């Protein structure tokens, strides 16, 4: 254990006394022993903490006692001057999730802790903190619904994006891209760029000035196909008028809500494959890249051998993996052939419907699992870059009554 103490307030007081009396006085400082225990984040198993740093800041004087320890076992019998403290903690954590060891950062905070009386016990709730956390897909409703008469209804699909970080983020400029390929048809594409980029067909972007659309920690935004009250047309649907954004669809199915901001179609309109054969990524263009320069610089021409043995050529748009902040592969268990992203982005996939053209898929979505809840009530969603483990398949859409 390494302890550094900065008694700035006490030194200042001692200096004033020395100046007034022209002699050194002995100042008696009462001290107490603090036994610190840690409350692990809820929902985690086999938790091991390490490399812990705790700052005890005395509220009145500003004096800081910094403690560095290797493990939580070293937190007993910390000696502090009596006072009122704000206590903050940073460290590393390992925990078991789905049979594999995960690593993350942890933080903790307690305000107004009174230390006096010789011995004090302090329990600090911990929460996960990932410095790389950002926006993620929380839910994708791609199947649509059916009317009471059994007719397919597609205008009520949506994405929900979630701020999984501890910081306020801005949705301005976020890009959603749908795969050009199908997860149910594996081909050898030449050149093969999957290790370095995602091949997109439809690419759409949230507009904004840069800080026009703040999203606070633990909050979400809804991007609807059509941000209207679909219950007026389909009793089995939902009211999406409170969506934050809506897609700009092809004219035959686009019903615009003038009170909801439209996304920008960077390439073509996005319709969302209702059987789940596509994959989706969330990305940001680097500074200096806009819709036009993206299309000009990121066109991807490829070829493959088709079922007749002839060569087919086509084009898509490549989004470098380094631009991508989240990815979700979708497919159907009975006809799945491959994932459409680098495994570094997503090594699994999720689904609605267990067979091709499964009528049971309608009115169901895929939704990310909850990992833990912080002391302030903020939910941390599971994000291990494996959609098989991170998502619940075939769930009731959260926006459906």
Range with lowest mean pLDDT among 18-27, 229-238, 358-367: 18-27
Residue 400 lies in a domain: no
Which residues does 194 contact at the CB level (< 8 Å), separation at least 6?
Answer: 340, 341, 342
Q: Please give the backbone phi and psi of residue 348, each rounded to the nearest 5 degrees, phi first.
A: -135, -165
Residue 142 lies in a domain: yes
Mean predicted confidence (pLDDT) in 202-208: 98
- Are 163 and 42 in a shared domain? no
Query: Does residue 30 fall inside a structural domain?
Result: yes
pLDDT of residue 126: 87
Domain assignment present for residue 401? The answer is: no
The pLDDT tens digits for 305-344 are 999 999 999 999 999 999 999 999 999 999 999 999 998 8
Query: If pLDDT is split at 50, 70 and 90, which confidence band does 130 have?
Result: low
| 38 and 150, same domain (yes or no) | no
pLDDT at 29: 84
pLDDT for the residue numbered 84: 95
Residues 34 and 157 in one domain: no
User: In this structure, are 200 and 58 located in the same domain?
Assistant: no
Whole-number pLDDT of residue 43: 74
Evaluate whether residue 188 is within a structural domain. yes
Q: Write out the residue range of the structural domain in which residue 168 sits.
A: 135-395
Same domain, 80 and 175: no
Q: Provide the pLDDT confidence category of residue 27 given band limits of 50, 70 and 90.
A: low
Q: State which of 129, 151, 175 marks the end of a domain.
A: 129
Residues 370 and 255 reside in one and the same domain: yes
Mean pLDDT of 101-105: 84
333 and 199 fall within a common domain: yes
Q: 254 and 278: one domain?
A: yes
12: Cβ contacts below 8 Å, ≥ 6 apart: none
Mapping DSSP onto H, E and C, the string for the chain reads CEEEEECHHHHHHHHHHHHHHCCCCCCCCCEEEEEEEEECCCCCEEEEEEEEEEEEEECCCCCEEEEEECCHHHHCCEEEECEEEEEEEEEEEEEEECCEEEEEEEEEEEEEEEECCCEEEEEEEEEEECCCCCEEEEEEECCCEECCCCCEECCCCEEEEEECCCCCEECCCEEEEEECCCCCCCCCCECCCCCCEEEEEEEEECCCCCCCCEECCCCEEEEECCCCEHHHCCCCCCECCCCCEECCCCCCCCCCCCCCEECEECCCCCCCCCCCCCEEEEEECCCCCCHHHHHHHCEEEEEEECCCCCEEEEEEEEEEHHHEEEEEEEECCCCCCCCCCCCCCCCCCEECCCCCCCHHHCCCEEEECEEEECCCCCEEECCCCCHHHHEEEEECCCCCC
When pLDDT is cut at 50, 70 and 90, the band that residue 13 belongs to is very low
Number of domains comprising the chain? 2
* Domain assignment of residue 48, yes or no: yes
Percentage of residues of the chain with pLDDT beyond 90: 76
Indicate whether 79 and 171 sit together in one domain: no
152 and 265 part of one domain: yes
- Residue 263 has, within 13 A of its CA and on its CB side, a CA count of 36
User: What rounded mean pLDDT belongs to the chain?
Assistant: 90
Domain of 40, CATH number, reads 2.60.40
Q: Tell me the percentage of the chain whose pLDDT exceeds 70.
A: 92
The DSSP bridge pattern shows strands 365-368 and 391-395 to be antiparallel
Residue that terminates a domain, selected from 83, 109, 129: 129
Q: Which of 90, 108, 129 is the last residue of a domain?
A: 129
11 Cβ contact list (under 8 Å, min separation 6): none
pLDDT of residue 132: 67
Res. 281: pLDDT tops 50: yes
Q: Does residue 29 sit in the same domain as residue 98?
A: yes
Does residue 340 lie in a domain region?
Answer: yes
**Residue 129, beta-bridge partner list:** 105
Most confidently modeled range among 30-44, 80-94, 98-112: 80-94
- What was the pLDDT predicted at 5? 42
Please say if the pLDDT value at position 26 is more than 60.
Answer: no
Give pLDDT tens digits for 217-264: 999 999 999 999 999 999 999 999 999 999 999 988 999 999 999 999
Question: How far is 333 from 184, CA to CA, in rounded Å?
Answer: 9
Report yes or no on 152 lying in a domain. Answer: yes
**248 and 365 belong to one structural domain:** yes
pLDDT in tens, 46-72: 999 999 999 999 999 989 999 998 777
């Amino acid at each position: 254990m390494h302890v550094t103490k900065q008694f700035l307030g006490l030194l200042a007081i001692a200096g004033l006394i020395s100046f007034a009396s022209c002699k050194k006085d002995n100042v008696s400082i009462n001290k107490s022993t603090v036994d610190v225990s840690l409350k692990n984040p809820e929902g985690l198993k086999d938790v091991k903490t390490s490399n812990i740093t705790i700052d005890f800041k005395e509220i009145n004087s500003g004096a800081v006692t910094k403690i560095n320890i290797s493990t939580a076992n070293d937190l007993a019998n910390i000696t502090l001057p009596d006072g009122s403290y704000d206590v903050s903690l940073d460290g590393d954590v390992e925990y078991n999730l789905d049979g594999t060891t995960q690593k993350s950062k942890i933080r903790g905070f307690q305000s107004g802790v009174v230390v006096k009386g010789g011995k004090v016990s302090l329990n600090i709730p911990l929460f996960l903190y990932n410095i790389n956390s950002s926006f993620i897909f929380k839910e994708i409703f791609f199947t649509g619904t059916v009317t009471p008469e059994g007719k397919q209804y597609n205008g009520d699909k949506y994405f929900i994006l979630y701020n999984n970080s501890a910081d306020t983020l801005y949705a301005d400029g976020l890009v959603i891209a749908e795969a050009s390929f199908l997860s149910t048809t594996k081909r050898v594409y030449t050149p093969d760029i999957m290790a370095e980029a995602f091949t997109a067909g439809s690419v759409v972007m949230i507009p904004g000035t840069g800080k026009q659309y703040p999203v606070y920690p633990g909050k979400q935004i809804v991007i609807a196909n059509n941000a209207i009250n679909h219950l007026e047309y389909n009793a089995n649907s939902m009211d999406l008028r409170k969506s934050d954004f809506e897609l700009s669809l092809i004219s035959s199915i686009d019903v615009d809500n003038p009170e909801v901001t439209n996304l920008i179609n960077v390439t073509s309109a996005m319709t969302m494959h209702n059987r789940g054969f596509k994959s989706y990524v969330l990305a940001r263009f680097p500074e200096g890249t806009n819709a036009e320069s993206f299309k000009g610089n990121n066109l991807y021409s490829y070829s493959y051998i088709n079922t007749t043995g002839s060569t087919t050529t086509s084009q898509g748009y490549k989004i470098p993996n380094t631009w991508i902040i989240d990815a979700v592969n979708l497919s159907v268990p009975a006809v799945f052939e491959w994932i459409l992203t680098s495994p570094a982005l997503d090594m699994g996939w999720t689904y609605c419907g267990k067979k091709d053209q499964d009528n049971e898929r309608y009115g169901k979505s895929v939704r990310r699992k909850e990992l833990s809840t912080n002391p302030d009530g903020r939910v941390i969603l599971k994000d291990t870059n494996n959609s098989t483990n991170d998502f619940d398949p075939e769930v009731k859409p959260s926006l459906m009554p």
